[in-house]
A and B are shown apart, each in its own frame.
Chain A
Amino acid sequence: MSPSDESEKMTHKEILKLFIEHNIDFVVVGGVALRLYNSPRVTHDIDIAAKTLDLDKIIPLMYKNSYYLITKLKENAITLALNGEHAERWVERTKSGSISFVSLYSVPQHSEVQMNSVDIASQIDILFELGIPIMRLKENSRIIELQDISFRVASVDDLITLKEQRSDKSWTDEEDIRYLKSLKEI
Chain B
Amino acid sequence: MENDAAPLGRDIQHSILKHQSPEQKLESLERESRSILELNPEYGRIYIIESFRRKRKDDAQRNS
Q: Does A53 touch B at the CB level, under 8 Å?
A: no
By the criterion CB–CB under 8 Å, are A118 and B48 in contact? yes
By the criterion CB–CB under 8 Å, are B48 and A96 in contact? no
By the criterion CB–CB under 8 Å, are A97 and B25 in contact? no
Main secondary structure of the interface of B (DSSP, over half): helix
**A151 CB to closest chain B CB, in angstroms?**
9
A100 to B51, CA, bound (A): 9
Q: Does B22 touch A at the CB level, under 8 Å?
A: yes
The residue on A at minimum CB distance from B50 is A170
By the criterion CB–CB under 8 Å, are A35 and B23 in contact? no
By the criterion CB–CB under 8 Å, are B23 and A146 in contact? yes
Also in contact, A35 and B51, with CB within 8 A (given A97-B59, A98-B59): no
**A6 CB to closest chain B CB, in angstroms?**
9
Q: Does B61 touch A at the CB level, under 8 Å?
A: yes
- Name the one of A78, A95, A167, A168 contacting B59, with C-beta atoms under 8 angstroms: A95
**A116 CB to closest chain B CB, in angstroms?**
7
- Name the one of A11, A39, A144 contacting B30, with C-beta atoms under 8 angstroms: A11
The residue on A at minimum CB distance from B8 is A40
Q: Does A157 touch B at the CB level, under 8 Å?
A: no
**A32 contacts across to B, CB distance below 8 A:** 26, 29
- A residues bordering B, Cβ < 8 Å? 11-13, 31-32, 35-36, 38-40, 42-45, 70, 73, 75-76, 78, 94-98, 100, 102, 115-116, 118, 120-121, 123, 125, 129, 144-147, 167-168, 170
- B residues bordering A, Cβ < 8 Å? 9-10, 13-14, 17-18, 21-23, 25-30, 32-34, 36-37, 41, 44-45, 47-59, 61-63
Pairs across A and B, CB under 8 Å, 17 listed: A11-B26, A11-B30, A39-B14, A39-B17, A44-B37, A73-B49, A73-B52, A78-B48, A96-B59, A97-B55, A98-B58, A100-B51, A102-B48, A120-B45, A121-B37, A121-B44, A168-B57
Chain A to chain B: the 10 pairs with minimum beta-carbon distance, closest first: A40-B13, A120-B44, A38-B17, A35-B29, A42-B32, A73-B52, A98-B55, A44-B33, A40-B10, A121-B33
